[in-house]
A and B are shown apart, each in its own frame.
Chain A
Amino acid sequence: MLGGFTTPFFKKKGDIGYYLVYRGVDPNDGTNAVYIASDTWKKATVAKEKKLHPLEPWLEISSEKSDWDGADPTLLHSMLVQLHLIRAFEETVLELAGEGLVHGPAHSSVGQEGGAVGSIVGLRASDAINGSHRGHHQFLAKALGYVAPNGFDSAAPVTPEIQTVLQKTLAEILGLAQGFCKGRGGSMHLQWHEAGCLGTNAIVGGGVPLAAGNAWAQKHSNTEDLTVTYFGDGAVNIGSVLESMNLTAAWDIPLVFFIENNLYAVSTTVEEATAEARLSGRGVGFGVTSLRVDGMDPLAVHLTMHKAADIARSGKGPVVVEAEVYRFFHQNGAFPGSAFGYRSKEEEASWRERDPLTRMATEMISRGHITQEQVDTLRAQAQAAMSAAAAELVEQDPDGKAGVRRIKPDLWPSPDFVNVGVRGDLSELAGAKTLEASTHQGESESVRFVDAVAAVMDRRMEQDPRIVILGEDIHRLKGGTNGATKGLAEKYPGRVLGTPISENAFVGLGGGMALDGRFRPVVEFMYPDFLWVAADQVFNQIGKARHMFGGESPVPLVLRTKVAMGTGYGSQHLMDPAGIFATAPGWRIMAPSTPHDYVGMMNAALACDDPVLVIEHVDLYADKGEIPVSDLDYQIPFGTARMVREGSEVTVLSYLSMVEKTQQAIDQTGMDAELIDLRFLDQASVDWAAIEKSVQKTNAVMIVEQGARGTSYGGWLADEIQRRLFDHLDQPVLRVSGGEASPSISKVLETAAIAGVDDIVAGLEQARTNAGGGR
C-alpha cells in the first residue's frame, strides 16, 4: 500500500480534514513526504523541504584495541582499584541492609561502577560532581580520587586516607554522627564539599540546576573547572534536567550532563517512557554536544569524558554524555530485578558478562599490567578494608543471637541535633551597622520605593562583586517590569542575567551558586505564584540544603518577588508567598513596608548566609519615603519588628502594604490600636519580644494580611500566639485576610477577594465587640 515506504521516519498519524495522512521519507531524495490514504495511496503535494542539522554533533564513542594498548598503566591501575573499592563498598552496604542496619533505601550501584570511575578518574580536585539517589559510586570515585591525587596502587590499594573515606561514607549511609553529613544525609545525600562532592539528591533531576549554578560559579571565577551532574534515565524527561540543558547551553556553562542509562526507572523501561530511547538525543535540541558511550567500558567512558571536558573547559558550554550501564540488582536491596519480574535472568546474565570489573581486569591481564592472582588479592584487600570499616560501626548485638549485629549505640547522632542548622546562627551579621528610620539623625531625602530597591542593589553590587542578579527581563525594560533593577545591567555587565522562562532552573542555578559560595545570587520571581513552578528547587533544594547536608553549608541566596494584588493579573499571579515560605524550613522572610526599611533589610539579606525571601508589593513601588541621603549601607536590626503606632486596645500585626491600610483603618475607627509592622516573617526571625510585650499590654491580637486565606501567613502565627500568650488573651486571635479563592481578573471580584481597609475596619470593630464592656 505504501509502495516502497515501509518504514516511515515519523510514525505519527492523524486525521486531517477528510484524509488519513501518513508522513514518511521519500527514499529518492530523503525529504519528508506526506501520503494521503484514499482509495489509493498517493503522495500529496508538499512545500519544498530542506534538511536541517543540529548545531552540535551527536556522537557515539567506543574504545578501540589501540586505546587499551596505549592507555597509561597508572590510569588503568587507578580505575581497577577504584572499581574494586566501590564494589566491595556496595556489597558491604547490601550486607548491612540485609541485616536491617541501613535505615531507608540503599540504592546499589553494583554493575554501574564503570561509568562513575571512568568519568571521574580524569577530573581535577577542583572539578565538582553531584548525583542522584543512586550516587555512592560517584561520590566514592570523586572522594577517593581527592585523597589519592597521585593515583592508586593495586598492590597496596588502601591507604589510611582511603580507609577514612570508606568509613565516613559508610557511617553516613548508616545515619551516624561521624558521617560526612553527620548522619543527616544518609545514602541519598552524600556531600563532601572540599572534595568537590556537591551533594547527591533524592529528587530525580533535582540536583541538576544546582550543578549548573556551581559550574556557573566556576566559569565566572576565571577557572577552567567544570561540574559533572549524574542522573539516570528516569530523569531525562523531567523539567529540572531539560530546563538546565537549555540554560547552561544559552550561557555556555561548563556542565557535563552525565546520563547513567541503566535502562530501567525502577521497573519502567526507557522504551516505555520515551520515544527517543537514545537519551543523549535530549541534548541535540538544545544545541549541546551529545556523546554516547558504553558505560560498562571504563576506558571508553574515560575517553568520552576527556572529550567532553575539553569542550566544557574551553568555554563552549555544556556536554551531554549518555553511558549505557546496568544495575545488577533491583532499585534497592540485594535482589536482582528479575526477582521482581520486569526483566529476565538471561538479560541479567548477559550484562554480568560485561561487568566493568571483569572487563578492566581482563584487558589489563592481557596486556601484562597485572595477574589474576593480583586482581584476586586486590579484591580481598578491598573487602578487608570494608570489613574493617564496618567493624568500627557495628558490633555483635548483646541481645541477639551470635552473628546478629547492631549499630554501636554511641555512634548515633544525639537526638537534640535534630533541628540544629535548619538555618545559620546569623553570626555573619555580628557588628553590622544598623539604623532605624526613627533614630536617623542625618539628612534624608524622599525617594520612591522602587527607586530605593534599585538604589540599594546598585550600592551593594558596587561594594560586593560577588553579587549577581538573575530573573526574567530584569536586564531590559529599564530595570525589569517595574524598574526595580534600573540601571544595573548597564553598570554591571555580566552580573545582571536575563533568564529564560524557567524558574525551576534559574532559581536552582542560583542555589548552586550560593552553595558554591563564591557568588551571592539575587534571584527575582516576576510574580510570587511562580514559586510553585520552581517548588522543588525553592523548598526541597535551597531551603533544605544546609540542614540536610549536616547544618553547616551556607546558602546565601536572596529571592525577590513582588506581591501584585490589585493589578488584575488574576488567579495565577496574585498570591502572597509569605505563608508558604513560613512553613518551609530554611528560608528567612522579609517584607519591608517603607523605603528606609527596604534598604536596611536588603542589606541584611545580602549579608545573611541563609536563603532570604524579600517580598515587595507593587502598591508600595510608587510610594515615597525618606531614606538617608548618603548612607545605603545600614541594616535594619535582624529579627526586629517596627512599632508603627502605640495603643492599648488591640495589637495589630501586619506587614508590607497592609501596614499603611491598617493605619487608615485605625484612624477611621478611632480605636486606640497598637500597630506593629512585623518586617521579618519567618518562624525564626519573627520579633516575639515585641509581640509578647504588646499583647501583654492589650490582651488582644489581630493579624492583618491581604491575600487569600488558604495560603495565608497568619495561620501559623495565630497558632503560635495562642500557644505563647494564651493566658494573656482576652479574646480570640483575629485575622483579616482575603477570601478562599485566588483573586480573579475581574476588577470587582479581585477587590472582593483581597482584604482592604474596610475589612480591617470590620476586624477592629470585632475586636472592640470582643472586648466587651457593653459598648
Chain B
Amino acid sequence: MATVIRMPEVLAGAAEAVISQWMIQEGQEVAVGDTLAEIETEKANVDYQAEEQGRLARVLIKPGETVEVGAPIAVFAAAGDTDDDIEAALAAAGGADAPAAAATEPAPTAEATPAPAAETHAPSSPTPPPAPAEQSPVVQNGGRIYASPLVRKRARESGIDLSQVTGTGPGGRIVKKDLESFTPAAPAAPAAPASTPATPAPAPAYSQAATGEAGYTDRPHTGMRRAIARRLTESKTTVPHFYVTADCRVEKLLEARTQMNEATGVKVSVNDWVMKAVAKALMEVPDANVIWTDEALRFFNRADIAVAVAVEGGLLTPVLRGVESMSLTQINHEVTRLATKAREGAISQAEIEGGSFSVSNLGMYGTDAFQAILNPPQSGILAVGAARDAVVVENGELVAGKVMTVNLSADHRAVDGALAAEWMKAFRHYIENPLALLA
C-alpha cells in the first residue's frame, strides 16, 4: 500500500525542517536503511533512512524548501502499487492535518534526553496542572504556535520568540495579555554557553529600530538562531542558576602544555586541559555529575561533556563522551573533529545530544571572566576566561602570576551550593596541578 512520508520531527520541539537534498530520485527503488534524504533542522543535518523496502513514488518537497513537521514530503510505494493507490494516499493525506501527522510519527523522536521544555515547569508538582500542556503549544500543536495576528505582528516587531511565550487564550493561543506579561530573557549574546565569537554585530536589529532614525536591516532568523533563542530563554527563565567563581593559578598548566606540545607535536589547547579537569572533577565529585528530571535526579557514570563551538550564525554544542578516560590528545582530536563537523553543518543529532556538563571558553578572545547560561538539561556549565598575568599574593608577598578565572553556573535543583563549591575545589586542584590530570 502506498504510504505518505511526512517530515519527521528530527529534533524535539522543532516546528519545521528543510529537505537539504534527496538522495533517492523519484521513481527509484529503495532498500531498508537506504538514505532517502538529508534533512536539515535547526541544529543538525540528519540522514533520513528508509524503514521499508519499496519505491520512492513521489517527491513532494523540493530541496531547500522549509516545511512544517508532519507535512507530507513524499509518497512511498510498495510493490504492486498503482498510480491510483498513490493518488489515494495523497488524497487521504491531504485530508489529515498536523495532529494526524503527529500520530503517524510517534511522539517526538524524543531521545534519551527528555525534552526539557515541558519538564522544567512545575518541578515539584506531583500531578502537573493543566498549564504545562498549554504552556508549550509547540509540542501540543505538532509544531504550530497559535498566536493572534496582533501578537504575531508585535512579536515580529520586537523580536520576541513566541515559542517562549505561554498562551492563555482558547486552545493555548498566545494573545495580547500573554505578550504583555511576558518578560523576555536578557538577550542571550554574552552569556551564550559558547566560545562564540558572539560578535555583538547582530545587536538585535529591533533595538535600532526602536530608536528611530538609525537605518537598519533585518536579517531573518535562521532555525538555529531561533533554537538558540528559545532554548536559552527557556533555560534562563526556568532553571534556577547559581554561580561559583574561582581564580585558578595556571603557571603549571601552561608550562605542562608547552612541554607536552613540544614532546608530542600535537597542539593541545588550554581548553583541552580544562575539559580533562572538568571530567576528573566530575568523577571525583559524582554527586555533581547529575541532571534534573521531573521524577528523579539522574546520575551519570561517566563524563560526557559538551563543548560550545561557534559556527556561522550561532553555535553548536557537540558532546564528547567519556572524557574521563580520554587522553589529552584524544580530547584534542575529538574536539577538532566535532568542531569541524559542526562548522560544516554535518553534525548529527546524536552528536549534540546528552551530557551533563558544558564548557564554554572565551579565553582565546581575551575575556577575563563571564557567566554562562546552562544548556538544558545539563546542570553545569563552566565559563572559562583567559589565562592572564596577574599580581597574586604568595606567602604574604605580591608576585607576578598567571591566573585563569572560571565561573561555574549550576542548576540549583540538582546541585546545591556546597556541592558546587566542592566540585570547584576539585576542578581547581586538577587545573592547578596538571600532572594529576595525567595520572
- Tell me how many residues of A have a C-beta within 8 Å of chain B: 13
Does B150 lie within 8 Å of A727, measured CB to CB? yes
> How near does chain A come to B183, taking the closest CB pair, in angstroms?
15
Given contact pairs A728-B149, A772-B170, A772-B176, enumerate 16 new A-B contacts (beta carbons under 8 Å): A699-B150, A727-B152, A728-B150, A729-B148, A729-B150, A730-B151, A731-B148, A770-B169, A770-B170, A771-B169, A771-B176, A772-B168, A772-B175, A772-B178, A773-B168, A773-B178
Q: Which residue in chain A gives the minimum CB-CB distance to B181? A: A773
DSSP majority for the A interface?
loop
Does A772 lie within 8 Å of B169, measured CB to CB? yes
Which chain A residues in 698-732 approach chain B with CB under 8 Å?
Answer: 699, 726-731
Chain A residues, CB < 8 A from B168? 772-774
Do A772 and B167 contact each other (CB < 8 Å), given the known contacts A699-B176, A730-B175?
yes
> How near does chain B come to A148, taking the closest CB pair, in angstroms?
65
Chain B residues, CB < 8 A from A731? 148, 169, 173, 175
Complex Cα distance A770/B153, Å? 18
Does B149 lie within 8 Å of A770, measured CB to CB? no
Interface size class of B (residues with CB under 8 A): 10 to 19
The answer, yes or no, to whether B298 is at the interface (CB within 8 Å) is no
The answer, yes or no, to whether A74 is at the interface (CB within 8 Å) is no
> How near does chain A come to B179, taking the closest CB pair, in angstroms?
9
Does B150 lie within 8 Å of A770, measured CB to CB? no
> How near does chain A come to B140, taking the closest CB pair, in angstroms?
15
The answer, yes or no, to whether B177 is at the interface (CB within 8 Å) is yes
Q: Which residue in chain A gives the minimum CB-CB distance to B179? A: A730
The answer, yes or no, to whether A396 is at the interface (CB within 8 Å) is no
Which chain A residues in 731-748 approach chain B with CB under 8 Å?
Answer: 731
Complex Cα distance A773/B169, Å? 7
9 contacts between A and B (CB under 8 A): A727-B152, A728-B153, A770-B170, A771-B169, A772-B170, A772-B173, A772-B178, A773-B175, A773-B178
Q: Which residue in chain B gives the minimum CB-CB distance to A695? A: B150
Q: Which 3 A-B pairs have the closest CB atoms?
A: A772-B168, A772-B169, A772-B175
On A, residues with C-beta under 8 Å from B are: 699, 726-731, 769-774
Chain B residues, CB < 8 A from A773? 168, 175, 177-178, 181
> How near does chain B come to A408, taking the closest CB pair, in angstroms?
47
Complex Cα distance A770/B181, Å? 16
Q: Which residue in chain A gives the minimum CB-CB distance to B157? A: A727
Chain A residues, CB < 8 A from B173? 731, 770, 772
Q: Out of A726, A727, A769, name the residue touching B170 (CB < 8 Å).
A: A769
Chain A residues, CB < 8 A from B152? 727
Q: Out of A726, A727, A728, A771, name the residue touching B175 (CB < 8 Å).
A: A771
Chain B residues, CB < 8 A from A730? 148-151, 169, 175-176
Chain B residues, CB < 8 A from A729? 148-150
> How near does chain A come to B122, taking the closest CB pair, in angstroms?
15
Q: Which residue in chain A gives the minimum CB-CB distance to B175? A: A772
Q: Which residue in chain A gives the minimum CB-CB distance to B174? A: A772
Complex Cα distance A772/B167, Å? 8
Chain A residues, CB < 8 A from B148? 699, 729-731
Does B177 lie within 8 Å of A727, measured CB to CB? no
Complex Cα distance A727/B156, Å? 11
* Cβ proximity bits B156-173 to A, threshold 8 Å, 1 near / 0 not: 000000000001111001
Complex Cα distance A729/B177, Å? 12
Complex Cα distance A731/B178, Å? 13
Does A727 lie within 8 Å of B153, measured CB to CB? yes
> How near does chain B come to A763, taking the closest CB pair, in angstroms?
14
Complex Cα distance A753/B11, Å? 52
> How near does chain B come to A641, taking the closest CB pair, in angstroms?
22
Does A772 lie within 8 Å of B153, measured CB to CB? no
Does A726 lie within 8 Å of B177, measured CB to CB? no
Chain A residues, CB < 8 A from B151? 730
Chain A residues, CB < 8 A from B174? 772
Does B149 lie within 8 Å of A726, measured CB to CB? yes
Chain A residues, CB < 8 A from B181? 773
* Cβ proximity bits B173-193 to A, threshold 8 Å, 1 near / 0 not: 111111001000000000000
Chain A residues, CB < 8 A from B150? 699, 727-730
Q: Which residue in chain B gives the minimum CB-CB distance to A696? A: B150
Complex Cα distance A464/B167, Å? 61
Chain B residues, CB < 8 A from A771? 169, 175-177
> How near does chain B come to A49, taking the closest CB pair, in angstroms?
74
Residue with the highest number of chain A CB atoms closer than 10 Å, among B169, B173, B174: B169
Chain A residues, CB < 8 A from B170? 769-770, 772
> How near does chain A come to B195, taking the closest CB pair, in angstroms?
40
Complex Cα distance A728/B152, Å? 10
Complex Cα distance A774/B178, Å? 10
